[in-house]
Homo-oligomer: A and B are copies of this chain.
């Protein structure tokens, strides 16, 4: 008799963003004329940069001719893109990451969700709270947690972000094997300093742990004194895997391209404590279960690193950061405490009431969609996340509608 993976029973309700979509759809159905402004899911709204469009078209034309047609590409991604990543995202920061340490994929969600497969089932995991729900949910599905009780899964070490620690979790006082970090953080928008990352890398080296470093929002960092990659920290290559994405950087949420860096010296151990390198494991995982990213999409991503591309991408980021500044300013002036929004497109707001209640209030009264903080973990209850991804006009409208609702 075929049996299901019963770990799925432990999952709480539906995936956060599906739940939001369902509530918004229900509201829209009941209020068919009503205009809704979405500052919820964190989806970009501006067109792809022109350089990307041009490269995209050119690559589609290559697919139209037998002589230039591309069939299966390398599972790890084309060298033309991996070389650019190595040069522009790492070498410019004084970091040496070789192209073959870079694995191009169709999304950081897939990569941060799939990476746990290469680790043992009995791995002790530390996950920030609040944080992007994929880290936790994929480990629940894989059976690494116990039951869900009082807002928490058994067998998970929660790294708590609270008002007291400025939403930057302290190091755990116990041994953990696998640590998820996300900076600039989703949802709080807080960033990691060199000191902080130094402490984590030291911890991971001392405890023989691995850090999964989600840097999907790296492009929004404005402060030059902040690290842009965890590999700016000495010794990080031995202990850290980094995730990046073009989704927010260059507007690729609907185009799909991202990458994961597994340095060749990054290590883990077998049950007899013998050291193994993770690069080969992830390569095997990708070769067996993945078939590479669409060729025209990789060409569009490559264009991000052209001279024009760098300018156009910066313009996109600046646009959203102007939105972020407006949201932060107005919510603060309404008397709401905010973090984030300075080096991140997300503003994390103390809602002074239950998260979903505040979500419902903004949806029903203002027609504005935010994300309830409790969807990111127990520490997120009483908070909401507002995203800067929309047109400036819509953000201005949304802020005014929120003002009317909350005043």
Contacts and interface: CB of A to CB of B under 8 A. Distances in A.
Interface of A: 1-6, 8-9, 11, 14-15, 17-18, 41, 43-48, 50, 53, 56-57, 60-61, 63-66, 69-73, 75, 106-107, 109-110, 113-114, 117-123, 134, 137-138, 141, 143, 175, 177-178, 207-210, 251, 253-256, 268-271, 273, 276, 278, 281, 284-285, 287-297, 391
Given A60-B56, A281-B4, A291 B47 contact: no
A141 to B, nearest CB: 7
Contact of A44 (B2, B43, B71, B281): B71
A256 B291 contact: yes
Contacts of A251: 69, 71
- Nearest 4 pairs of A and B residues by beta carbon: A3-B120, A113-B289, A43-B71, A70-B254
A3 B294 contact: no
A122 B65 CA distance: 48
A287 B64 contact: no
A281 B56 CA distance: 35
Contact of A254 (B73, B106, B285): B73
Contacts of A296: 56, 60, 255, 296
Contacts of A291: 106-107, 109-110, 253, 256
A320 B100 CA distance: 35
Contacts of A118: 4-5, 8
A41 to B, nearest CB: 7
B178 A256 contact: no
Given A48-B69, A60-B296, 9 more contacts: A3-B269, A4-B268, A6-B271, A45-B69, A45-B71, A48-B63, A106-B256, A107-B290, A256-B291
Contacts of A143: 121
Contacts of A270: 3-4, 6, 9
A72 B119 contact: no
